[in-house]
Amino acid sequence: DIQLTQSPSFLSASVGDRVTITCRASQGISSYLAWYQQKPGKAPKLLIYAASTLQSGVPSRFSGSGSGTEFTLTISSLQPEDFATYYCQQLNSYPPLFTFGPGTKVDIK
């Protein structure tokens, strides 16, 4: 089974900071990776799919990159509404297993 790890698990940042979160897969998953944002008490929200495609309606300060085993989510200028937990999800293999990474909490410094 493909396992996902995320780093860091916790990140303290200020408004306006550039933030990068890394997701690593235990095996190559091509570009079958998605990123989600979750705020307390809410369902996750899809931000990025196919590793780098921005979901409709998501601000352009969010971007994704990578393929194979290493992926990054970047927030170019952190906004107050971006303080949340971020998860990666792999969608690879056939039939696909939609496993999640452990999450990265972005908190206010």
Residues that bind another protein (CB under 8 A): 1, 32, 34, 36, 38, 43-46, 48-50, 53, 55, 85, 87, 89, 91-92, 95-103
- What's the closest the beta carbon of residue 25 comes to another protein, in angstroms? 15
Amino acid at residue number 104: T
**What's the closest the beta carbon of residue 15 comes to another protein, in angstroms?**
25
Of 68 and 102, which has the nearer Cβ to another protein?
102
The one-character DSSP state at 26 is S
Which long-range CB contacts under 8 A does 93-100 form with residues at least 24 apart?
A: 93/2, 93/29, 96/32, 97/1, 97/2, 99/1, 99/2, 99/3, 99/4, 100/4
- As a whole number of angstroms, the distance between CA 66 and CA 42 comes to 28
Identity of the residue, 17 or 68, whose beta carbon is nearer to another protein in the bound complex: 68
Q: Of the two residues 62 and 87, which places its CB atom closer to another protein in the complex? A: 87
Which residue, 43 or 60, is less far from another protein as judged by CB? Answer: 43
